[in-house]
Chain A
Amino acid sequence: KAGVTQTPRYLIKTRGQQVTLSCSPISGHRSVSWYQQTPGQGLQFLFEYFSETQRNKGNFPGRFSGRQFSNSRSEMNVSTLELGDSALYLCASSPGTGHTGELFFGEGSRLTVL
């Protein structure tokens, strides 16, 4: 069974630009969550989508947005990039039912903002 696939794996942007990251969940998983990981703050929850609807949202500004498609694939977008947005962005999928702790993570998209 294929794991969670994230693209691109690495990218470099400049301040003010926007970026879109993509995530393909494990086949059959309906929930996709996004996390930001930085050395200073650790893993922070961005949002979760289930059956194309945002089910939960973390404490990030509106510049961070996401969506989920009917095939469960998800994208997240960050507009007007800031230096502090440099991070590893992790996508995780789960069946979407039951408790929320059993997540399957991708390898992440490492974003560098210059």
Chain B
Amino acid sequence: QKEVEQDPGPLSVPEGAIVSLNCTYSNSAFQYFMWYRQYSRKGPELLMYTYSSGNKEDGRFTAQVDKSSKYISLFIRDSQPSDSATYLCAMSWGGKLIFGQGTELSVKP
């Protein structure tokens, strides 16, 4: 079993939809939780990071962490075609960053 599990998709939604992306993890030592976005033929870029359980909002993006369930989510409101990318969750502990497999998202006009 991988330390971080993420459904690879692909996920296809119409423009304007609310997107929910999720990851589960097994290592309770993880301290920081991140979401990265990777466009085709580019390196990942950090979207959001959180430290504790709860919600963190940034524009159309909301990151949610539930440490008791070992579950994190990223919500995208009013999704746009420019949001089409692969979204990777990541978690850090002990100086190492562990990534999920990534979910490929396509937002159709």
- Let me know if B43 and A106 touch, CB within 8 A: yes
Comparing B53-61, B64-72, B98-106, the segment that makes contact with chain A is B98-106
- Chain B residues within 8 Å of A48, by CB: 95-96
- Chain A residues within 8 Å of B100, by CB: 42
Comparing B9-17, B44-52, B73-81, the segment that makes contact with chain A is B44-52
- Let me know if A45 and B98 touch, CB within 8 A: yes
Partner of A105, one of B33, B45, B49, B96: B45
Report the separation of the CA atoms of residues A104 and B45 in the bound assembly, to the nearest whole angstrom.
7
Q: Which residue of A lies closest to B95 (CB)?
A: A56
Binding site for B on A (CB under 8 A): 4, 33, 35, 42-45, 48, 55-56, 58, 90, 92, 99-108
Binding site for A on B (CB under 8 A): 31-34, 41-46, 49, 51, 88, 90-92, 94-102
